[in-house]
Chain A
Amino acid sequence: MDNDAGRNQNNAGLDLGVAVFFLLWAGVGWVSIATNSSLFSGRATGLDPGPALLPIITLAILTAGGLALTVSPVRKWMSASRRIRWKSDLNWRPIGFLACVVAFPTIMHAIGYAAATALFVFFWSFALAPNAMQRPRRTLAIATIAAIVTTLLIYVGFDLVIRSRLP
């Protein structure tokens, strides 16, 4: 159903990425099914088709779809006999940010949610600020205010009002 005509060479990399993305999900799914013995144990009553039916159907569709999507980029690559160029427009910011967020729960357990939030907001408000170097004092002030306000809002909203069990 995809109309590949008119796509240029750059998109071959993208298409392959898409195919790999789907196949990765399918692969992880198949591994999980293969290692799950209780899935096929007879706990289901005789009439229930069982907990394995739909996962297998869905994974089959995903695998077939993923494989089908590899055809066109691979063919293009073969015919053009050129290397696929991988576009890289990634920069450090989302990756660093993601790493910080992943560490966040651990930090939260260690020093409490309030301190963790204040530190996180302060650091990133500073790090992401435009022209931080030209006006360091102003940026620092804004970051400090942001950290305090965010922490207080989280405290009021989640701790005080809805009584979430924050560490």
Chain B
Amino acid sequence: MFDVFAAALIEIATRPDLLGLSLTGVMVGIILGALPGVSSTMALAILLPLSYAMPTDAAMVFLIGVFSSSVFGGSISAILINIPGTPGAIVTQFDGYPMAKSGRAGEALSYALLASTVGGLLGLAILSIVAPLIASAALQFRSPEFAMAAIFGLTMLAYASPGSTFRGILVGCIGLIVGMVGFDKLTDVARFDFGTRVLQNGIDIVPLTVGIFGFAEVLINLSSTNQPITHVARINRIFPPLASLPKLIAPMMRGSLIGTFVGAIPAAGSAIAVALAYAQEQRLSKEPETFGKGAPAGIVAPEASNNACVGGALVPMMTLGVPGDTMTAVLMGALLLHGLRPGPLLFAENPQMVGTIFGSLFFAILLTLVFGFVAIAAIIQFLKMPRHILMVGIATLCIFGSFAVRNTMSDVYIMIAFGAVGFVMNKLKLPTAPLAFGLVLGPLLEENLRRSLIISRGSWSVFIDRPISLVLILLSMAALLYPLVGLYRKNRREQTGREI
């Protein structure tokens, strides 16, 4: 495998046309990814026809450049203006935006970029070494495991909002209900729709996050001060302090592993990977209370995970012929158009193409790093514009971004409604992040729980008969009980303290 990979690397490195295409793809990908409402999938689909005329290897180099870099692009708008450019960036902003708000936008972007690179490279390494192994492991992950993984993710809500756990869980429940709006995935019955078209569309993750994070933030900004809205704090530096980096290696690694594996599971998607990576990092952190206020670990773990998903998502496509997500579905379409059928026979019949895909991804990641730093230097200048104009501009972007996702005006109304909800929740001092978690994990849980029961013919024991599912249940229970134990210990300590 390595000789093919090396040959492809040399091939791309020595051909200026391929390098140029890769760089073009990376630049376009970052810009489109940063536009709210343009997901990586859309960026790929828009640029796909451009690749029809190219030879197969050039088309792959270009499209993988777009694919891989748009993931980082999505984090730019997440960090700068609290609007996720792509659904995979929803978690990056939890800490990225607070950090940017405190005048450290350059640092936050650099953390994201470094983590992107590490995550991308790690995902690629795992992909190139153990793709078939991962593919078969990922196939063990079926409906019961999906359902229990969603449960595990939901128990993480207990950690996602320190200090107000109970309220966090209730907000998560609202997220679950919001995720049920629209047609039921299994029976096509409309739910929570009140007979209206707007609600039958269901609530897409992008308008919701744009509304509840981006637009709500604008409203909060407008209301928070009676004094005029002034400039943001100065942008101090671009590169983060070197001393902060060693501590972040472990979070990046954990994030990457989660990303690669979740990405490899067909139809799981990066939004789930980043949610799990973030929740886990918060749980493991020694200072969980800093999360949500600009903790570097809260940026790098989901970012690494988000980018590792790229490599992960290629695993099922290349080994099984099943696209891991919608982005790889577009890539697969491109390969098919060029007469290549990714699937169980690709490694045997067409090793050069496998090498080219690995090589393209490698260069895409490197060029994203290089171009990313250039872009960061330019992009943060954007924050120097007057604050009030920035706010109006962000609101405009919220409107058009949420429209563009599905080209329907109802998504704009949904965005506005959740902007208002986010504003009210801020006034009530409720955490908003669990709502997004609930929306991502709820449909996953419901669909797979019910499907598991159909397949097991109604027997609930399916969840404890399967080993991975059982482990996930035990982990969830541990996650739920752990804070109670902590509370008990604290109480004990306080009591004994008082006695002495």
Interface residues of chain A, those whose CB is within 8 Å of chain B, are 1-2, 14, 17-18, 21-22, 25, 29, 32-33, 35-36, 38-39, 41, 43-45, 47-51, 53-55, 58-59, 61-62, 65-66, 69, 89-91, 93-94, 97-98, 101-102, 104-105, 109, 113, 117, 120-121, 124-125, 128-131, 142-143, 146, 150, 154, 157-158, 161-167
A48 partner, pick from B38, B190, B404, B453, beta carbons under 8 A = B453
Flag if A101 contacts B395 (CB, 8 Å): yes
Name the A residues within 8 Å of B191 (CB-CB). Answer: 32, 36, 39, 51, 55
Flag if B420 contacts A98 (CB, 8 Å): yes
CB of A2, distance to nearest CB on chain B (Å)? 6
Flag if A124 contacts B392 (CB, 8 Å): yes
Name the A residues within 8 Å of B186 (CB-CB). Answer: 44, 48, 51
The complex places the Cα of A150 from the Cα of B392 at a distance, in Å, of: 9
Flag if A49 contacts B450 (CB, 8 Å): yes
Flag if B386 contacts A142 (CB, 8 Å): yes
CB of A124, distance to nearest CB on chain B (Å)? 5
Contact of B53 with A by CB under 8 A: no
The complex places the Cα of A121 from the Cα of B388 at a distance, in Å, of: 10
Question: 4 smallest A-B Cβ distances: which pairs?
Answer: A130-B228, A128-B388, A51-B184, A94-B223
The complex places the Cα of A129 from the Cα of B392 at a distance, in Å, of: 11
Name the A residues within 8 Å of B230 (CB-CB). Answer: 130
A130 partner, pick from B388, B407, B409, B457, beta carbons under 8 A = B388
The complex places the Cα of A142 from the Cα of B393 at a distance, in Å, of: 13
- What is the count of residue pairs linking A and B with beta-carbon distances less than 8 angstroms? 190
Flag if A150 contacts B393 (CB, 8 Å): yes
Flag if A48 contacts B187 (CB, 8 Å): yes
Name the B residues within 8 Å of A98 (CB-CB). Answer: 219, 416, 419-420, 423
Interface stretch, picked from B56-64, B103-111, B170-178, is: B170-178
The complex places the Cα of A112 from the Cα of B403 at a distance, in Å, of: 14
Flag if A121 contacts B396 (CB, 8 Å): yes
Residues 403-430 of chain B, each 1 if its beta carbon lies under 8 Å from chain A, else 0: 1100101001100100110011101111
Interface stretch, picked from B131-139, B159-167, B325-333, is: B159-167
Flag if B419 contacts A54 (CB, 8 Å): no
Contact of B454 with A by CB under 8 A: yes
Name the B residues within 8 Å of A61 (CB-CB). Answer: 170, 173
